[in-house]
Amino acid sequence: MEEDNQTIRYVLNGDFNAFEKLVEKYQGRIYRHLRKMVKDTSEAQDLLQETFLSAYRGLKGFAGDSSFSTWLFRIASNTALMFLRKNRPEFLQYDEQIGIKNDDKLVPASPEFVSTPLEILLSNEGRKKIEEAIDHLPLIYRTVIILRDVEGFSLEEVAEIIDSSVPAVKSRLHRGRNSVRESLGTYYMERTVNGKRRALQE
Amino acid sequence: MMKECKDFCDRLSDYLDGQVDENICILIEEHLEVCPPCALMYESLKTTVEICNRGISDDLPEEVGRRLKIFLRIHCNKEQT
């Protein structure tokens, strides 16, 4: 955090290379965040450019009360939200319950998922399934999962980034995580059953 | 799922985040020891969080990075002048 603040001081003194250092440090994470928010890699590229340009323009106003990463992710989230409001308003229907059961019942856990080794869960195929499970979530759940579980921000930081409260973040995490757990559970259960079926046929 | 189990499972996400009081933590841990379905639910949620953390790449395609650099050099320099 202190290292970023030092770099920011250089940028504010007119050192553009210092700004490029900040960009290089955060571009991958910001791109991932935008990519998951808008679910479109080509749009995410444009929003990535917009985010860093806004950050450059607003850097003088960065007070250092929060970390630079929190501040930057807040800009990225707002940039994506503005884009979605204009181009994908259906993403912003917060009550939309795609993939989230209305009755809030928890689907039991899948033993097949839990017993699948980590190297399979994190294989190319496994990673694709994680991406799909997250993409399937409505925006408000998707965003908190990315910020908390993927980026590792604290609950307070997530609340600050998305302009919400800690209790609201917790409740969205609970529902979002359980929805991802269900999707992956179903996938690994079916994968195991199909594997056994194939073994029997051979 | 029994109501008691549902109540425990509803706290598991907060539990993973270290957001439940110590006395509730103890209750959850005691329950997980005697209730295999809830223990499985806990393992499953923990695995979900772990693989979300490790499974989404933050690789930036080279071309995207190159375009970003050029874009910022052009537009940020305009701001300075």
Q: What is the pLDDT of residue A105?
A: 74
Pick the CATH number of A2-92 from 1.10.1740.10, 1.20.1540.10, 3.40.710.10, 3.30.1360.20: 1.10.1740.10
A31 → closest Cβ in B45, B64, B73: B64
In this prediction the pTM is 0.91
Q: Please report, to the nearest 10 degrees, the dihedral formed by the alpha carbons of residues B20, A66, B68, A25 taken in order.
A: -70
Contact A172, A141 (CB under 8 A): yes
Q: According to CATH, where is 1.10.10.10 located in chain A?
A: 111-201
pLDDT tens readout for residues A14-58: 999 999 999 999 999 999 999 999 999 999 999 999 999 999 999
Taking 90 as the threshold, does the pLDDT of residue A1 lie above it? no
Average pLDDT over residues A190-198: 87
Per-residue pLDDT tens digits for B56-70 = 999 999 999 999 999
Tens of pLDDT, residue by residue over B29-57, are: 999 999 999 999 999 999 999 999 999 99
User: Alpha-carbon Rg of chain B, whole angstroms?
Assistant: 23
Predicted local distance difference test score (pLDDT) of residue B3: 75
> What pLDDT is recorded for position A63?
78
DSSP state of B13: H
Q: Are A85 and A92 in contact (CB under 8 A)?
A: yes
Residue pair A51/A76 in contact by the 8 Å Cβ criterion? yes
In this structure, what is the dihedral angle of CA atoms A106, A112, A118, A122, given to the nearest 10 degrees? Answer: -70
Q: What is the pLDDT of residue B2?
A: 75
Look at A28 and B60 and tell me if their CB atoms are within 8 Å. yes
DSSP sequence for A43-110: HHHHHHHHHHHHHHHHGGG--SSS-HHHHHHHHHHHHHHHHHHHH-GGGG-TT--TTS-TT-PPPPPP
Contacts of A38 (CB under 8 A, 6+ apart): A44, A47, A80, A83, A84, A88, A91
ipTM over 0.95: no
Q: How many CA atoms lie within 13 A of A37 on its CB side?
A: 30
- pLDDT, tens digit, for every residue of A141-178? 999 999 999 999 999 999 999 999 999 999 999 999 99
Q: Is B19 exposed, middle or buried (0-12, 13-18, 19+ CB in 10 A)?
A: middle
Which residues, including other chains, have CB under 8 Å from residue A37's CB and lie 6 or more apart? A44, A77, A80, A81, A84, A139, A142, A143, A146
Separation between Cα atoms, residue A102 and residue A80, nearest integer Å: 27
Percent of chain A with pLDDT over 70: 94
Among candidate residues B47, B74, B17, the one with its CA nearest the CA of residue A53 = B74
Alpha-carbon distance of A149 to B78, in angstroms, equals: 38
Tens-digit pLDDT profile for residues A108-135: 889 999 999 999 999 999 999 999 999 9
CATH 1.10.1740.10 residue ranges for chain A: 2-92
Residue B79 banded pLDDT, cuts 50, 70, 90: confident
- Write down the CATH number for the domain with range A111-201: 1.10.10.10
Verify whether the Cβ–Cβ distance B17 to A121 is below 8 Å.
no
Residue B47's closest chain A neighbor by CA?
Answer: A114
Q: In chain B, positions 40-79, which contact chain A (CB-CB < 8 Å)? A: 40-41, 43-45, 47-49, 51-60, 64-65, 67-69, 71-73, 75-77, 79
Tens digit of each residue's pLDDT (9 = 90 or more) over A46-90 = 999 999 999 999 999 887 788 999 999 999 999 999 999 999 888
The residue with tokens 């079926």 is: A197
Percentage with pLDDT > 90 across chain A: 77
Domains of chain B, residue spans: 5-80
Q: What is the pLDDT of residue B81?
A: 47
pLDDT at A198: 86
